[in-house]
């Protein structure tokens, strides 16, 4: 199948397929005399594996490792478990970061409960203050040490 067919089948665009080839995640396609790439079932399966891992937000380096582990069935599951544990740790850190961001936005939003025109706007005042290096509702001034 040509790159367009592979892309339609897997939901991955041609530029990404070529990128995965350059990065060594996807084996090089066979080329015809006119230079077109031709892919087989092996490419489609591997690309589906990569796409699924990317949907789990796994970095390409870890996907590369998982592909190597998948082709070596004698390898212990401990390495795979370790990679998933690392991904979970990154996810937990991002969730904590997102919760902190949510609290900051909520604090900023509390600066204005008006639905109509209000001059001056508390939210805009805070954003301008922050741009000048001053504290705002979402980034309060650091506490002084005693």
Q: Residues 7-26: what's their mean pLDDT?
A: 95
Assign 44 a pLDDT band (cuts: 50, 70, 90).
very high
Q: What is the C-alpha separation between 6 and 27, in angstroms, rounded? A: 13
Whether the bond between 120 and the residue before it is cis, its omega within 30 degrees of 0, is yes
Nearest alpha carbon to residue 12 among 56, 46, 63: 46
Domain definitions of the chain by residue range: 3-117
Helix, strand, or coil (residue 61): helix
Beta bridge mates, 38 = 30
Amino acid 15: pLDDT: 96
- The domain 3-117: what is its CATH number? 1.10.1660.10
Q: Residues 81-96: what's their mean pLDDT?
A: 96
**pTM assigned to the model:** 0.74
Look at residue 14 and tell me whether its pLDDT is greater than 70.
Answer: yes
Torsion sign across C-alpha atoms 88, 56, 58, 96 = negative
């Amino acid at each position: 199948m040509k790159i367009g067919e592979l892309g339609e089948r897997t939901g991955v665009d041609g530029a990404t397929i070529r990128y995965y080839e350059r990065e060594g995640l996807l084996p090089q396609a066979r080329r015809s005399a006119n230079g077109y790439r031709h892919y087989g079932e092996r490419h489609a399966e591997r690309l589906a594996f990569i796409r699924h891992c990317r949907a789990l937000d796994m970095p390409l380096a870890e996907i590369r490792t998982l592909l190597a582990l998948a082709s070596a069935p004698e390898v212990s599951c401990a390495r795979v478990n370790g990679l998933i544990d690392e991904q979970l740790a990154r996810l937990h850190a991002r969730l904590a970061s997102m919760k902190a961001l949510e609290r900051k936005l909520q604090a900023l939003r509390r600066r204005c409960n008006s639905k109509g025109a209000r001059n001056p706007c508390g939210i805009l005042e805070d954003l301008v203050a922050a741009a000048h290096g001053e504290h705002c509702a979402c980034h309060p001034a650091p506490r002084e040490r005693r």
